[in-house]
Structure 1
Amino acid sequence: MEFREVVRRRRMVRRYSDAPVDPAVVDRMLAHAQRAPNAGFSQGWAFLVLDTAADVARFWECTGADPDTHNAWLDGVRTAPVVIVPLASKDAYLERYAEPDKGWTDRSEDRWAVPYWWVDTGMAALLVLQTAVDEGLGACFFGIPGEHVDSFRAAFGIPDDHAPVGAVTVGHRAADAGARGSAARRERRTNLVHRGRWGTTVGP
């Protein structure tokens, strides 16, 4: 598929069929994710792959999705057979930039105008989403509620120096998995690009 078509077709898919996902496709998603740009080649990310029914069920349980609670969003995304959780390690960046070739002599977080451990892991997650489109699959990125991060860590043994930036469900798109809710009623904005000076907009 042409790259421009991948970008055009990317949508957050919130309902999946019961068809299994080829493990080789998941491996390609993760290989592509690790090609994302990352400050100082710190590679301060990791990916938790949940691809068994038991692990996926545990993910939903520990992140607050009570199996007896039903709403349109949860009932849809819980049909995904695969969940990938991208995790960011701030310590990896602080350590990398305290090395001699970077010129900093300490690990102070104050040196960072932008927390690139979050930025870079987010870009890696986007490559997972784009690879899903290229492979003919659907995917959805969403956040893990803050009040359930500790239970998520405990359920899967996540080390203290890694934090989830969100989670990505992956599967074959269900036939009725069109856009839903308020997002479906919003038009894509075209005045967000400015050239030379704020207020001078560039069209799509």
Structure 2
Amino acid sequence: MEFREVVRRRRMVRRYADRPVDPAAVDRMLEHAQRAPNAGFTQGWAFLVLDNPEDVALFWATTGADPDAHNAWLDGMRTAPVVIVPLTSKAAYLDRYALPDKGWTDRDEARWPVPYWWVDAGMAALLVLQTAVDEGLGACFFGIEARHLDGFREAFGIPEDHAPVGAITVGHRETDTGAPGSPARRERRGDVVHRGRW
């Protein structure tokens, strides 16, 4: 698929068909994610892949999805056979930039005008989303509520120096995708590009 078509077709898919995802496609998503730009070639990210029903069910249980609660969003999202959780390590970036080739001698966070550990993990997540489209799959990025992070961490053994930036469901798009998303209710803004000055 042409890159411009991948970009044009990318949507947040919230309901999936009852079909397994080829593990090789998931591997390609992760391979591409690891090619994302990252400050200082720190590679301070990690990816938790949940691709068996027990692990996916545990993900939903530990992130606050009441198994008896029903709503259109949750019912659709829980049909995804794969969940990928991109994580980032601030410590990895602080350590990397304290090395001699970067010229800093300490790990002071104040040196960072932007927390690039979040930015870089977000770019990696976007490559997962775009690769899903290229593979003929659907995907959706969403956040994990702060109040559920401790339970999620404990359930999956997430190290203290890594933080999830969100989660990505992956699967084959359902023919009936349910209610249209925000683009059906809001027009795409045309006033976001400023040339020369604001």
Q: Per the shorter chain, which TM-score range?
A: over 0.9
> Would you say how many aligned residue pairs link Structure 1 and Structure 2?
198
Structure 1 SS opposite 2:148 = helix
Tell me if 1:66 matches 2:66. Answer: yes
Equivalence map 1:1-204=2 (5 Å): 1-177=1-177, 180-198=180-198
Secondary structure of the structure 1 residue equivalent to 2:73:
helix
Query: Aligned-pair distance for 1:28?
Result: 0.2
CA deviation profile, 1:149-204 (whole Å, cap 9, x unmatched): 11000010000000000000000000011553544211111111110111xxxxxx
Whole-angstrom distance in 2 between the partners of 1:4 and 1:183 = 19
The code of the aligned residue for 1:196 comes to: G
Distance 1:62 1:183 in 2: 30
Moved over 4 A (4+): none
Structure 1 pair 2–179 and aligned structure 2 pair: CA distance change class (3 A): farther
| C-alpha displacement of 1:47 | 0.0
Alpha-carbon contact 1:13-1:178 (below 8 Å) kept: no
Q: One-letter code of the match for 2:119?
A: V
TM-score norm. by structure 2 comes to 0.98
In the aligned structure 2, how far is the partner of 1:178 from the partner of 1:191? Answer: 30
Percent identity for Structure 1 against Structure 2: 81
Contact 1:118 1:165 survives alignment (8 Å): yes
Kindly provide the CA deviation profile for residues 39-98 of structure 1, in whole angstroms up to 9, marking residues without a partner as x: 000000000000000000000000000100111100111100000000000000000000
CA distance in 1, matches of 2:69, 2:166: 21
Note the aligned Cα RMSD (angstroms): 0.9
